[in-house]
């Protein structure tokens, strides 16, 4: 006689494995809580921000080397350079003179060696503007005004060098220490320079609030703005 136990079991698409019923008194095991891991991660990120990021931000507020906040000893200049053409070594940026040709140049806010422009060099201070001593920091107008001033300076033949004019200007922090200097430095990022890039460097001095003592101006009478 054919019994149910002798028949093969049919695998239906709706079949599910049998699970014994859960006793009504048992509650499902609680899921592990990850909230404290998230809180710990936030604390670690904040600690890194304090010890790593903050020193980088605060360093931007210190006075530039050679400005009124950190006076530098005056560097003597050789009025009759020798065969090496060196006028002065380790000159702070605040003591660069408009038209100076620079070697050993690393950045617009770092000291460099002043040489005769007929010698190989990497940079030249082609323009400078001194803002009035009185008055509040120009704020957001500082950078555009500095770019406008430097952008009007016409450069001569750069030879095979790729030249970019880099701008150094006061920040709110350095302004408070008496920094009023805007420098326009033509830098050869590819190749070297062997002559002056300007016939006359541009110099506008409004530090005394009087008529500007400008050695040259590409646009005629300079504006005090």
Segment 7-64, tens digit of pLDDT: 444 444 444 454 455 544 455 555 555 555 555 565 444 444 433 333 333 222 223 4
Domain spans of the chain? 40-225
- Residue 107's nearest CA partner among 59, 167, 61, 170 is 167
DSSP 133: S
Regarding predicted confidence, which is higher, 24 or 178? 178
72-92 exposure pattern, b = at least 16 Cβ within 10 A, e = fewer: eeeeeeeeeeeeebbbbeebb
Whether the model clears a pTM of 0.85, i.e. scores above it, the answer is no
Question: Sign of the CA dihedral 185, 64, 98, 112?
Answer: negative
């Amino acid at each position: 006689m054919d019994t149910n136990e002798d028949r093969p079991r049919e695998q239906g698409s709706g079949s599910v494995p049998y699970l014994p019923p859960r006793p009504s008194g048992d509650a499902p095991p609680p899921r592990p809580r990850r909230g404290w891991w998230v809180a710990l991660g936030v604390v670690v990120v904040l600690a890194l921000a304090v010890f790593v990021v903050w020193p980088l931000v605060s360093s931007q507020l210190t006075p530039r080397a050679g400005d009124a906040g950190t006076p530098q000893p005056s560097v003597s200049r050789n009025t009759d350079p020798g065969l090496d053409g060196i006028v002065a070594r380790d000159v702070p940026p605040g003591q660069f003179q408009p038209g100076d040709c620079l070697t050993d140049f690393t950045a617009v806010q770092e000291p460099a060696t002043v040489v005769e422009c007929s010698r190989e060099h990497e940079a030249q201070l082609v323009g400078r503007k001194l803002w009035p001593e009185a008055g509040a920091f120009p704020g957001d107008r500082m950078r555009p005004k500095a770019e406008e001033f430097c952008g009007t300076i016409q450069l001569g033949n750069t030879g095979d060098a790729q030249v970019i004019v880099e701008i150094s200007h006061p920040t709110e922090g350095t302004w408070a220490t008496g920094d009023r200097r805007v420098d326009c430095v033509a830098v050869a990022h590819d190749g070297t320079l062997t002559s002056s890039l300007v016939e006359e460097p541009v110099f506008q001095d409004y530090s005394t609030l009087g008529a500007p003592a400008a050695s040259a101006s590409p646009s005629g009478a300079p504006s005090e703005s």
